[in-house]
Amino acid sequence: MILEKLQNEKVLRDPIHNFIHVQDRVILDLINTSEFQRLRRVQQLGISATVFHGAEHSRFGHSVGAYEIARRITEHFGQYYASKKLDDGLWQTDERLLTLTAALLHDIGHGAFSHTFEHLFNTDHEAMTRAIITGPTEINAVLSKVSPDFPNKVASVIAKTYPNQQVVQLISSQLDVDRMDYLLRDAYYTGTKYGEFDIDRILRTMRPTHSGIAFDIAGMHAVEDYVVSRYQMYLQVYFHPVSRGMEVLLEHLLHRAKVLYLDSHTNERNFVGPLLQPLFSGQTLSVGDYLKLDDNVFMTYISMWREHPDAILSDLSQRFLNRKPLKSIVMDDNTEPLIDNLEKLVAYTGYNPHYYTARNKAFDLPYDDYNPNVAKPRTQIDFLLGDGTHRELSKLSPLVAAIKGQVSFDKRFFFPKDMLSIEPDELFADTFKEFRSYIHNNALTTPNPES
Q: What's the mean pLDDT when you consider all of the chain?
A: 89
pLDDT tens profile 228-273: 999 889 888 988 999 999 999 999 999 999 999 999 887 778 899 8
Give me the mean pLDDT over the 19-27 stretch: 97
- What pLDDT score does 350 carry? 86
Most confident segment among 162-166, 190-194, 333-337, 344-348 = 162-166
Do residues 230 and 187 lie in contact, with contact meaning Cβ atoms separated by under 8 Å? Answer: no
- What pLDDT score does 429 carry? 64
Residues with Cβ within 8 Å of 350's Cβ and at least 6 positions away in sequence, in order, are: 419
- What pLDDT score does 445 carry? 46
- What pLDDT score does 58 carry? 96
Percent of the chain at pLDDT > 70 equals: 90
pLDDT tens profile 363-390: 777 777 656 555 667 789 999 998 888 9
Q: Which helix (H) or strand (E) holds 178?
A: helix 177-190
- The separation between CA 9 and the C-alpha centre of its own chain, rounded to angstroms, equals 30
- Band (pLDDT 50/70/90 cuts) for residue 450 is very low
How far apart are the C-alpha atoms of 292 and 387, rounded to whole Å? 55
Q: Which helix (H) or strand (E) holds 5?
A: strand 5-14
- What pLDDT score does 423 carry? 67
Residue 413 forms beta bridges with which residues?
329, 359
What's the predicted TM-score (pTM) here? 0.92
447 Rama class: left (phi>0) / alpha (psi -120 to 50) / beta? beta
pLDDT tens profile 200-215: 999 999 999 999 999 9
- What pLDDT score does 331 carry? 84
pLDDT tens profile 100-152: 999 999 999 999 987 777 877 778 899 999 999 999 999 999 999 999 999 99
pLDDT tens profile 164-199: 999 999 999 999 999 999 999 999 999 998 889 999
pLDDT tens profile 310-333: 999 999 999 999 999 998 888 888
Do residues 126 and 158 lie in contact, with contact meaning Cβ atoms separated by under 8 Å? Answer: yes
DSSP string, 5-46: EEEEEEEEEETTTEEEEEEEHHHHHHHTSHHHHGGGGSBTTT
- What pLDDT score does 242 carry? 92
- Band (pLDDT 50/70/90 cuts) for residue 451 is very low
- Band (pLDDT 50/70/90 cuts) for residue 360 is confident
Nearest residue to 61 (alpha-carbon basis) of 188, 168, 175 = 188
- What pLDDT score does 426 carry? 56
Q: Per-residue pLDDT for 427 more than 60?
A: no
- What pLDDT score does 163 carry? 97
> What letter would DSSP give residue 361?
E
- What pLDDT score does 149 carry? 97
CA angle at 45 for the pair 42 and 48, rounded to the nearest 5°:
120
pLDDT tens profile 46-87: 999 999 999 999 999 999 999 999 999 999 999 999 999 988
> What letter would DSSP give residue 284?
P
Nearest residue to 211 (alpha-carbon basis) of 397, 380, 96 = 380
Q: Cα–Cα distances in Å, from 313 out to 69, 264, 353?
A: 43, 14, 14
CA atoms in the 13 A half-sphere facing the CB of 32:
10
Q: Which helix (H) or strand (E) holds 410?
A: strand 408-415
Q: Per-residue pLDDT for 449 more than 60?
A: no
